[in-house]
Amino acid sequence: MPLQDVLSIALLVSVCAAMMIGYPVAFTLAGVSVLFAFIGAALGAFDLIFLNAIPSRIYGVMGNENLVAVPLFVFMGVMLERSRIAEELLTTMGQCFGSLRGGLAISVTLVGTLLAASTGIVGATVVTMGLLSLPTMMRAGYDPKLACGTICASGTLGQIIPPSIALVILGDSLSGLYAEAQLAKGNYMVEPFSVIDLFAGAIVPGFILSGSYILYLIFKAIKDPDSSPAYYVEGVSGRDLAVRVVKALLPPILLVVAVLGSILGGLATPTESASFGGVGATLLALLRGFLTREVLTEVVRATARISSMVFTILIGASIFSLTFRGLGGDHLVQSFLTGLPGGFFTAMLVVMIVMFVMGFVLDFIEIVFIIVPIVAPALFMADISPIWLGVMMALNLQTSFLTPPFGWALFYIRGVTPREIATTDIYRGVLPFIVLQIAVLALIWVFPAITTWLPGILLR
């Protein structure tokens, strides 16, 4: 095996090993990559002139207008979380559906869907819904497995339903890789692809997934009524309930429609819509009486912390990608994937399995910055839609975050559940939802038009 190939594999293994040990991801990526660059240069397998591109790459990250949407959407999500919109939504929807068997679980799923479209922050959604809805579901006599599974699955919808931060980052990464792949194939009339296309492509799959959850909960309530009993709320008239529903649902729905509608309608870029969403979330918190100096300070600090983490990882990943390519790793991966028996099907399957496993130990952002730039160019050599590929990757990682024993959502829910609920109950509770995830993933694999139909109508 050529020395460059050996160093490429050693670089990838070393980065993964260092991150699993617990070193900070961003500094691991940059530090290990620079170390291997000098080792490669000493052995005559790497040209240090590649490192001259680091300043321009950092400048490119900081000047990327699409990525400006990240801190703005984070601000919007954190502000909506602090404005206690989730609490009011869960209470109101619980009163609407509580008299039905499985009504509370359906309410949690509907609220999770709305919060996914409002915040797009998976961890915050799972923790918030766990703290607010799990005690109520336990008091109503719900099976702990069903309650925990519903909360975990609904909380991860923020991964796939736009405006998701994950989709912003994934769409921006894929757009550049897709253009490079088309030029490498000699196609100089590159079909445009952007974050907006990925947003439009993810809407239908997201709601199919949410709908499948609800259908399962209805089936479960019919087949096993004791697992999801009705929850009656006394002392609420029909008129009062109607007023509460309008008050709880109308503002966040209008905000989501305004943000997504302006993006998909071509009235504003994702960054402009995100800024509008941040202002709208702030006004909503002000109208609800929750916008205090302390709350605003918490929101700004949380936004700065999350955004700095994202961009620091992105800079580290840029250095890693530069070194990996300088060692010829991109050609090694491409030749490996294209040389697999079975062609594109096998290559895609291997990539999905690798990303699924990596989702156990790495966050979505880290996978997008590390794994996607390595494998996407090889997959784009086939005639596939970048929208379909982006949605498949997002759904695959969402499934990974739900899967025992290392799913991120399971760790989040474990942190807010009482001790009497065993970890095995949480694991067993998410299994039916994992089956639904895989079914939807298979459906989209077989019928890619599910992802490309809406963008074809709205954006072409």
Tell me what pLDDT residue 270 has: 83
Domain count, the chain: 1
Is residue 93 very low, low, confident or very high in pLDDT (cuts 50, 70, 90)?
confident
Question: Quick check: is 262 in a domain?
Answer: yes
Q: Which residue has the tokens 């996914």?
A: 116
Q: Is the dihedral of CA 213, 219, 220, 222 positive or negative?
A: positive
Tell me what pLDDT residue 371 has: 84
210-265 pLDDT tens trace: 999 999 999 999 998 888 888 765 555 666 767 777 777 788 888 888 888 888 88
DSSP state letter for 323: H
Average pLDDT value over all residues in the chain = 83
Structure-block tokens of residue 445: 């694999």
In angstroms, the CA 313 to CA 320 distance is: 10
Output the CA–CA distances (angstroms, integers) from residue 225 to 141, 214, 230, 327, 339, in the order listed: 11, 15, 9, 60, 52
325-339 pLDDT tens trace: 888 887 888 788 877
* Through-space distance between the first and last CA atoms of the chain, rounded to whole angstroms: 47
Question: Quick check: is 24 in a domain?
Answer: no
Tell me what pLDDT residue 219 has: 93
11-53 pLDDT tens trace: 888 887 887 776 777 788 888 889 999 998 888 888 888 888 8
pLDDT higher than 90, residue 193: no
**Domain that includes residue 81, residue range:** 66-458
Burial of 418 (0-12, 13-18, 19+ CB in 10 A): exposed
Task: Write down the pTM of the prediction.
Answer: 0.84
Output the CA–CA distances (angstroms, integers) from residue 419 to 124, 136, 347, 424, in the order listed: 21, 16, 43, 12
DSSP string of 250-282, one letter each residue:
HHHHHHHHHHHHHHHTTSS-HHHHHHHHHHHHH
Tell me what pLDDT residue 202 has: 92
Of 69, 66, 85, which Cα lies nearest the Cα of 277? 69
DSSP string of 198-231, one letter each residue:
HHHHHHHHHHHHHHHHHHHHHHHHHH-GGGS---
Structure-block tokens of residue 246: 């309008």
Is residue 449 very low, low, confident or very high in pLDDT (cuts 50, 70, 90)?
very high
Q: How many percent of the chain have pLDDT more than 90?
A: 14
Is residue 367 very low, low, confident or very high in pLDDT (cuts 50, 70, 90)?
confident
Question: Quick check: is 402 in a domain?
Answer: yes
Question: Quick check: is 228 in a domain?
Answer: yes
